[in-house]
Homo-oligomer: A and B are copies of this chain.
Amino acid sequence: MNSTILENQTVERLARTFRRSPCQMNRMNESDAEIIRLGDTGVTLAITTDSIVEEIASGLYEAPYVIGWMAAMVNFSDLAAVGAAPAGLLIAETLPPDLTDDFISELQRGIEEGCRACGSFVLGGDTNFGNGLELTGCAVGVIDDGKPLSRAGCRPGQSLYCSGPLGNGNAFAISRFVSPRARSPFFPRARIREGQLLRGLATACMDTSDGALATLDQLMRVNDVGFRLGGCWRNALGAKAEETAHQASIPSWLLLAGQHGEFELLFTVAPDHEEELLRRAASVAWHPIRLGAVVSRPEISLEVYGKDTLIDTARMRNAAFTQHDNVKVYIQDLLHIDGELQKGIGHHG
């Protein structure tokens, strides 16, 4: 099923040349971070790399503090999604020659405070000079019992949860590109503690770095199952996000559809473990939100405009991939899909 998704095709093409390490425990596309057993030490490492490039080039991230914070957070969020305890972050920076000292200070402060928010540290890095600002992080952590969370493992009949409010990432994007007066600050915190609590409990887990529906789409492909959300997703929308969408006349379900995610975790739990989930969550004053159910048909349905509607998540992911350098066209694509749903052209579940 990966072949439908242009991004997966590209990643698979790029990785085709590479042998897999015998120490690597995860399969491709089935984990937010790479899981490595360290020889005969008995230690299982989680490690991941993620860059901030298009977000800067497109103007989505402009303030240096935000850029720094996000360079840390995108990486720690991948550790959260496998349930790892962070050991630290490396950060490689390509700096244009014309940056001011203030800009650089704010950038570094964002990185440092992003690490701090995840209970972690910058370990080191590399500095280069080039035309466009780019940051690449690499976060490393430990899976203390050697049993990471994985994207693979959920079954029909299980429940789907998210770790917190959805839509804040896309609301931020709306405030940047559609409705600049709608100020929607965005400082997501990787769900490190929650990821660790979910170990041994969640049957599948993935972070929403690409938005909720793209995340569900990937979980659908990995597990060959579907997700029925009904109207539950409305409970999960952040109040501020909904307000931003409303001000910009963007239908609120598109807060799940846009590809600028909120860095929450989407995860599934077997029915007989839901009580344990709520018990563990309550112990740390965490409020996971029930989003829907895992179903056997590999389809994703939401209640939109009063009807259970199948969402063509592949089309939306591919629009984001194709238009990665043209945000305005991408937003038009999403609004076009919404228009079809309003007219009842979409499929009804």
Q: Counting CB contacts under 8 A, is A138 at the interface?
A: yes
- From 243 to 279 in chain A, residues with beta carbon under 8 angstroms from any chain B beta carbon are none
Q: How far is the CA of A112 from the CA of B124 in the complex (A)?
A: 25
A26: nearest residue on chain B (CB-CB)? B124
CB-nearest residue of chain B to A75: B126
- A34 touching B105 by the CB < 8 A rule? no
Contact, CB under 8 Å: B134 / A94: yes
Q: Give the docked Cα–Cα distance between A116 and B19 (Å).
A: 9
> Which residues from B are CB-within-8-Å of A41?
41-43, 142, 144
Per a CB cutoff under 8 Å, which of B24, B97, B134 touches A121?
B24
B51 touches A126 (CB 8 A): yes
Contact between A45 and B87, CB atoms less than 8 A apart: yes
Determine the interface band of chain A, counting residues with CB < 8 A from chain B.
35 or more
Residues of chain B with a CB closer than 8 A to A144's CB: 39, 41
Q: Does A49 contact B (CB under 8 A)?
A: yes
A90 and B138 contact, Cβ closer than 8 Å, known pairs A85-B39, A97-B325: yes
Q: Which residue of B lies closest to A85 (CB)?
A: B39
Contact A54 B128 (CB under 8 A): yes
Q: Tell me, rounded to whole Å, the shortest Cβ–Cβ distance linking A66 to chain B.
A: 16
Report A98-139 residues with CB < 8 Å from chain B CB: 104-105, 108-109, 111-112, 115-116, 120-132, 134, 136, 138
Contact A136 B18 (CB under 8 A): no
- What per-residue 1/0 map shows which CB atoms of A330-347 lie under 8 Å from chain B? 000000000000000000
Q: How far does the alpha carbon of A121 sit from the alpha carbon of B23 in the complex, in Å?
A: 10
Give every chain B residue within 8 A of A132 (Cβ-Cβ): 130-132
Please report which residues of chain A, range 8-48, place their CB below 8 angstroms from some CB of chain B when the two chains form the complex: 10-11, 13-21, 23-24, 33-34, 36, 38-39, 41-43, 45, 47-48
Q: Which of B14, B45, B104, B105 contacts A127 (CB 8 A)?
A: B14
Interface code A69-93, partner B: CB below 8 Å = 1, 0 otherwise?
A: 0000000000000000101101111
Q: Does A57 sit within 8 A of B, measured CB to CB?
A: yes
A53 at the interface (CB under 8 A from B): yes
Provide 27 A-B residue pairs closer than 8 Å at the C-beta atoms, listed in order of the A residue. A11-B127, A14-B93, A15-B122, A16-B108, A18-B108, A18-B115, A18-B122, A19-B121, A21-B88, A21-B120, A34-B124, A36-B87, A36-B123, A36-B140, A38-B43, A39-B144, A41-B41, A41-B43, A45-B45, A51-B92, A51-B94, A51-B128, A54-B129, A92-B136, A128-B134, A131-B131, A136-B136
The 8 A-B pairs with the shortest beta carbon distances in the complex, nearest first, are A21-B121, A138-B138, A53-B128, A17-B108, A136-B136, A34-B124, A18-B122, A49-B90
